[in-house]
A = this chain, B = another copy of it.
Amino acid sequence: MALIVQKYGGSSVADAKRIRNVARRVAKAKDEGNQVVVVVSAMGDTTDNLIKLAYQVNEQPGDRELDVILSTGEIVSSTLLALALESLGCKAVSLTGAQAGIQTDSSYSRARILRVDTKRVVSELEKGNIVIVAGFQGVTQEMDITTLGRGGSDTTAVALAASLSAEICQIYTDVEGVYTADPHLIPGARKLKEIGYEEMLELASYGARVMHNRAVELGELYNVPILVASSFSDSPGTIICKEASMEVKNKARGIVYDTNVSKVTVVGVPDHPGIAAAIFEPLARANISVDTIVQNASINNITDLTFTVARNDLIKAMSIVEPVVKSVGGKQCVTDSTLAKVSIVGTGMQNTPGYAARMFRVLYEQGINIQLITTSEIRITCIISEDRVKNAVQALHQAFELEKET
Binding site for B on A (CB under 8 A): 16, 19-20, 23, 50, 53-54, 56-62, 64-66, 68-69, 71-72, 75-76, 78-84, 86-87, 93-94, 96, 98-99, 120, 143-145
A81 to B50 alpha-carbon distance, docked (Å): 13
- Nearest Cβ on chain B to A12's Cβ, whole angstroms: 14
30 A–B contact pairs at CB < 8 A? A16-B53, A16-B56, A16-B57, A19-B57, A23-B57, A50-B76, A53-B76, A53-B80, A54-B79, A54-B83, A57-B80, A57-B84, A57-B87, A58-B84, A58-B86, A60-B87, A61-B86, A62-B83, A65-B83, A65-B86, A65-B93, A66-B83, A68-B96, A69-B76, A71-B75, A72-B72, A72-B76, A96-B145, A98-B143, A99-B144
Task: Assess A68 versus B79: contact at CB under 8 Å? Given A58-B86, A84-B57, A86-B58.
Answer: yes
A60 to B86 alpha-carbon distance, docked (Å): 9
Q: Are B83 and A57 neighbours in the complex by a CB distance under 8 Å?
A: yes
- Nearest Cβ on chain B to A141's Cβ, whole angstroms: 13
Residues of B contacting A53 in the complex (Cβ-Cβ under 8 angstroms): 16, 76, 80
Query: A20-B57, A66-B83 are known contacts; what are 9 more A-B pairs with Cβ within 8 Å?
Result: A50-B76, A61-B86, A64-B93, A65-B93, A68-B75, A68-B78, A68-B96, A69-B75, A120-B143
- Nearest Cβ on chain B to A56's Cβ, whole angstroms: 4
Residues of B contacting A58 in the complex (Cβ-Cβ under 8 angstroms): 83-84, 86-87
Interface SS majority for chain A: helix
- Nearest Cβ on chain B to A67's Cβ, whole angstroms: 9
A78 to B80 alpha-carbon distance, docked (Å): 22
Residues of B contacting A62 in the complex (Cβ-Cβ under 8 angstroms): 83, 86
Task: Assess A65 versus B87: contact at CB under 8 Å? Given A56-B16, A57-B80.
Answer: no
Q: A23: nearest residue on chain B (CB-CB)?
A: B57
Residues of B contacting A56 in the complex (Cβ-Cβ under 8 angstroms): 16
Residues of B contacting A87 in the complex (Cβ-Cβ under 8 angstroms): 57-60
Q: Which of A19, A60, A145 neighbours the largest number of chain B CB atoms within 10 Å of its CB?
A: A145
Residues of B contacting A96 in the complex (Cβ-Cβ under 8 angstroms): 68, 145
Task: Assess A68 versus B54: contact at CB under 8 Å? Given A61-B83, A86-B62.
Answer: no
A79 to B69 alpha-carbon distance, docked (Å): 6
Q: Which of A16, A58, A59, A61 neighbours the largest number of chain B CB atoms within 10 Å of its CB?
A: A58
A212 to B333 alpha-carbon distance, docked (Å): 69
Q: A72: nearest residue on chain B (CB-CB)?
A: B72
Partner of A79, one of B59, B65, B75, B120: B65
Residues of B contacting A145 in the complex (Cβ-Cβ under 8 angstroms): 96
A129 to B193 alpha-carbon distance, docked (Å): 54
